[in-house]
Structure formats: structure tokens, C-alpha cells
Amino acid sequence: MLSALAIAIGTCSCASQQPASDTSANSSQSSVGRYVDDAALTTKVKAELVKDVGTKAAMDVTVTTEGAVVQLAGFASSRDEANRAVAAARKVSGVREVKDDIRLK
């Protein structure tokens, strides 16, 4: 009876452990999901820039996103234009933070 109990406990504890490959697969899927989310945010921010500051001004600003943190870099004709670009990025749903690295021409 004791032997059967020991075998049952050993079987249960083994079954509850995930294989190492599952953990790395979940991590990989998480990384891919984060990349896709960041790419989608970048696209949404770029579209918002076109709408709020115009196509020409939006073309001078590079948008990168990592972990829902958006970084704007490039050039603007005025501080007002740069501020409008930052405001446009901030209003996009899902953006956690906006880093302003826009320089004046």
C-alpha cells in the first residue's frame, strides 16, 4: 500500500511540472506578442501624427516602440509642431509613455 502511495505522489508531482521547452516557447510567444503589439502601436502613432501634424511633418519624425513606450525622433519646424506630435502620440490607446527626442530644424 505504501509503495502504491509513493508511486502515485511521484507521478502527480511529475505531471504538474512543465517541460523546459514549454517555458521557452511561452517566453518566445510572449516576445512575439509584445513585438506585434509594439508594431501596431507604432503604426497607430504614425497615423495619428499624419492626422494631427500633417504628412510632411510626420515624415520627418521616426517612431519606435518598445514595451508600449513610444520614442519620437527626428526634426520639426517649430517647438509647437514637436509638441503637437508628442500630444498626438500620447492620445493613442495603449501608449504608456512618450519620449520626445524631436529636434528643431
What is the DSSP code string of 34-82? HHHHHHHHHHHHHHHHHHHH-HHHHHTEEEEEETTEEEEEEEESSHHHH
Domain ranges of the chain: 32-104
Our CA angle for 37, 38, 40, nearest 5°, is 65
Instruction: Report the chain's mean pLDDT, rounded to a whole number.
Output: 82
Here the cell at position 20 is 523546459
Between CA 59 and CA 80 the distance in angstroms is 16
Top pLDDT among 61 and 21 is at 61
Q: How far apart are CA 37 and CA 94, in angstroms?
A: 9
Instruction: State the fold for domain 32-104.
Output: Histidine-containing Protein; Chain: A; (3.30.1340)
Helices (H) and strands (E) in the chain, counts: 4, 3
The mean per-residue pLDDT over the stretch 46-69 comes to 97
pLDDT computed for residue 65 by the predictor: 97
Look at the pTM and tell me if it is higher than 0.85.
Answer: no
pLDDT of res. 11: 41
Residues near 51 by beta carbon (within 8 Å), at least 6 away in sequence: 88
pLDDT confidence of residue 45: 98
Higher pLDDT, 2 or 86: 86
The string of pLDDT tens digits covering residues 11-37 is 444 444 444 545 556 666 678 888 889
